[in-house]
A and B are shown apart, each in its own frame.
Chain A
């Protein structure tokens, strides 16, 4: 941009930053070259225009601007590219789409609850959901009310039943559904398309806003294939689907790249079918780039984004400009472009699917199926493990069972005796107010991203679940 520096900017003690990244040509769908330090690279330059940098290469944004206050909804260089990414991966169902740049998923969730939650409101969610988000809503005075899930996510008939039979004595009828439909945290489920359709229609019928928290959208998997040869062939075929990158992002066919991405394991989102503008969708770069960037985006109809800007003006002020500048540079046609971004996430997706598969391989190897059962995660980073606690010698089926107590015991034993931390279902449970839900607490959430560490964990898990 090359505008003249001013006195304040001249006091910013940073004049040229560079960031090394894998170049567009290296984005083949296989991230191993980058992981091994062997990928060809490109460099992002962020310089402060002025004395001392006259001959430096210019980047997308000037540090004079990046280090200054800025727009509460983000640099247009970033929002335009995020909208382009939205268009390629979700399309548009209404005319008023807009995006708001957040400081990552947690910020997007928090601000969205600020939009819609009055103290005393009841918010619907999956019966197991991400505790941090639940606490964010609770901090604004919300109570969460559970909707039953199965291996494919939230059950539409249950959602309709809850809303249709709503008893005002419980509280005001919910007008907000907080949901993680893809790579659900903690259950790892991905809703099939027909559930998206059914749930969207139910929310139209009951005038419910859908808060689509979707940090794992890019990490959707195909079915678990236990046969190693067949699996390897599947991965090779998946990588080969990605067309070779053009020499520059501007020549790269982002639409063709997105089409491959969308067809592989992809479900469309609530946003993609949002003809009403009742969806507030929350994305992040954390899962495919790095959580420390603290950059994400919220997609909604423009009037809602405008309100998010007002919230931002009095809270976070400006999304981290340096982080914005880096992500905007990646997405710019100077470097990856949106097509290159999708190419990268494609490789990351396959890598995490391989980790999911490895985890399930070891689970089958070390943990007898009669003790622990699971539905393979179809997205995200977590495997939901059902402990068949009714096989435990001390299991007591009378009344409200002692499932909760046995699970607490197992949780503590794993930590003390094996240095293994699994996340207990209790943390994610959304109980019906006033109802003891400990009967449904017989699950653990395990991350699939830790590789070899799981051997010890699973051995201990198997040998102590029912044997004590």
Chain B
């Protein structure tokens, strides 16, 4: 099996998943880490789009979703500060592209209707800290983030 590049991830050629599976990463797992990480899907994919490194992912990841791969980016050579920076500064205009990566073969892709969205909604950004903390989710992370970020903490507490 060929190694998968970040570029593959952006273009949605990695796996064929339903959009709902993309939005709920933990489709085949009851593991809290993976469920929590589903909230990360947008910033993570945007991160990949924003900061390509050319680094190839391990072959084993080719069988799993883009989001699982994204969830494991912390194991790669991207610094946390870069990740956070990307999450916070990412262009809102790219948001709509996030979850339209892997159309099922027999069905058409949905059209881009984001021009109908209000300016306010287009500008609304994800909780970057939450995304960042979840991006780093691993069993050894000691999160003191607290509050609504406790959902992240719980994955490692």
Contacts and interface: CB of A to CB of B under 8 A. Distances in A.
B114 interface: yes
Contacts, number: 158
Interface in B16-71: 18-20, 22-27, 30, 32, 35-36, 38-39, 41-42
Contacts of B41: 306
A364 interface: no
Contacts of B110: 94-96, 276-277, 301-303
A83 B17 CA distance: 13
Contacts of B1: none
Nearest to B125: A310
B19 A97 contact: yes
Nearest to A92: B107
Interface stretch (A63-71, A151-159, A380-388, A416-424): A63-71
A306 B103 contact: no
A317 interface: yes
B116 A116 contact: yes
Contact of A80 (B27, B118, B151): B27
Interface residues of A, number: 51
Contacts of A93: 107-108
A70 B23 CA distance: 14
A73 to B, nearest CB: 6
| Closest 4 pairs (CB-CB, A-B) | A277-B110, A302-B99, A95-B103, A302-B19
B85 to A, nearest CB: 20
A307 B23 contact: no
B16 to A, nearest CB: 9
Interface in A2-19: 3, 6, 8-9
Interface in B138-157: 147-148, 150-151, 153-154, 157
Nearest to A118: B118
A301 B151 contact: no
Contacts of B126: 309-310, 313
B104 interface: yes
A354 interface: no
B99 A95 contact: no
Interface of B: 18-20, 22-27, 30, 32, 35-36, 38-39, 41-42, 95-100, 102-104, 107-114, 116-122, 124-127, 147-148, 150-151, 153-154, 157
Given A301-B100, A303-B99, A307-B122, 7 more contacts: A6-B153, A71-B35, A80-B24, A96-B109, A303-B96, A306-B23, A309-B23
A259 interface: no
Contacts of A75: 35
A79 B18 CA distance: 12
B38 A65 contact: no
B151 A83 contact: no
A70 B35 CA distance: 10
Contacts of B116: 115-116, 175-176, 209
A72 B39 contact: yes
A8 B153 CA distance: 11
B109 A307 contact: no
A281 to B, nearest CB: 13
A69 B95 contact: no
22 contacts: A8-B150, A73-B39, A80-B27, A94-B107, A95-B19, A95-B103, A95-B108, A96-B100, A96-B110, A114-B121, A115-B116, A117-B118, A118-B118, A175-B116, A277-B110, A301-B110, A303-B100, A305-B19, A306-B23, A307-B95, A307-B122, A309-B126
Contact of A1 (B30, B36, B111): B30
A99 B111 contact: no
Nearest to B124: A310
B36 A79 contact: no
B23 A311 contact: no
A11 to B, nearest CB: 12
B32 A65 contact: yes
Contacts of A55: none
A120 to B, nearest CB: 11
A236 interface: no
A303 B23 CA distance: 10
A96 B17 CA distance: 9
A108 B120 CA distance: 18
A6 B121 contact: no
Interface string A56-92: 0000000011001111110110011001000000001
A249 interface: no
B135 to A, nearest CB: 15
A310 B42 CA distance: 10
Contacts of A407: none
Given A71-B38, A96-B103, A209-B116, A83 B18 contact: yes
A302 B111 CA distance: 11
Contact of A302 (B27, B100, B104, B147): B100
A302 B41 CA distance: 11
